[in-house]
Structure 1
Amino acid sequence: MVSEQFRAGSPITFLYLVKHAAEYPDFSVGDAFGLLSNIRGEQVLAGYTAPFPDDNYIAGVRKFLSCVPLLEHHQADCDANDRAWAVLEAFDRPLLTAFSDGGPVTKGGEAEFQQRVPGAESVKHTTNTGGRHFLQEDQPEQLSHSIITFMRD
């Protein structure tokens, strides 16, 4: 059920993933990558899990997702995010957005960069199709082509 909601782009599923990562005893990095990407190869997913042989190594991964500033108690993170946007809003060098049309967490996030970052104004942006959150895994050729075209232009 959760997998289907992720595929459909349901926003509540990110909160589920945050809770799952923090509390589920058998949380796996490979399982998270499987939810957020089109990666289906067990060996590839095992590669993402390999650096974390047991729960002693996974505390940072468990915490990472909860660092997204969504709730009131994240005010310090929201303030840091605002400071980062202030830097980006002054960035006038060319900036390409190459988001996915199927990212369950970041889909549509390119619009804010395109509107707020001066360097994004005159760039031909791209939306990569058929990928999810980890575009470099899901659509490596398409993403590479987008970047190479941007660099050439």
Structure 2
Amino acid sequence: MSRNLISYGMLETSGWIYEGKDLMVNFYKNDKKVISGKYHQGLYYLQGTVSREEANLSKVEKNMTNVWHSRLGHMSLNNMSELVKRGFIIDKEVKTLDFCEHCIIGKSHKQSFPKVKHVTKGILEYVHSDLWGSPSTPDSLAGNKYFVTFIDDFS
């Protein structure tokens, strides 16, 4: 506790519970008694000592090989090793390259649509449509920035 005055409301909104009887008040946090106070001349005086808590921290080490891989447009490990040889990257920053999902997706090829011949025998039997627009498209009369085309395959 690093304060001289403590608000019951502040403690309660922080998850503390308190109970009082016989001019004593006890404060609990996570069902554990933390500190007590004794009533004297209109105030509760806390009884106890301040203890300093310890915290252990861990530092996440970035895999600099992956960082350089991303910065250099997903360059291969062999090419990054060449940059190390030429002195452009520090030797200890290029070790092993982890799996990169972006590289796998980037190397995949889209399958084209199968070629289909449309044989239509009447108007509106088969209609091609497309939605066009971008922020640079001039506004329509209604203030929209897109337009739709409908083309009948028969006519």
Query: Which bin holds the TM-score, normalised by the shorter protein?
Result: under 0.3
Q: Structure 1 length normalisation: TM-score? A: 0.18
Q: Structure 2 length normalisation: TM-score? A: 0.18
Query: Hey, which of these two has a bigger chunk of helix by percent?
Result: 1
Query: Hey, which of these two has a bigger chunk of strand by percent?
Result: 2
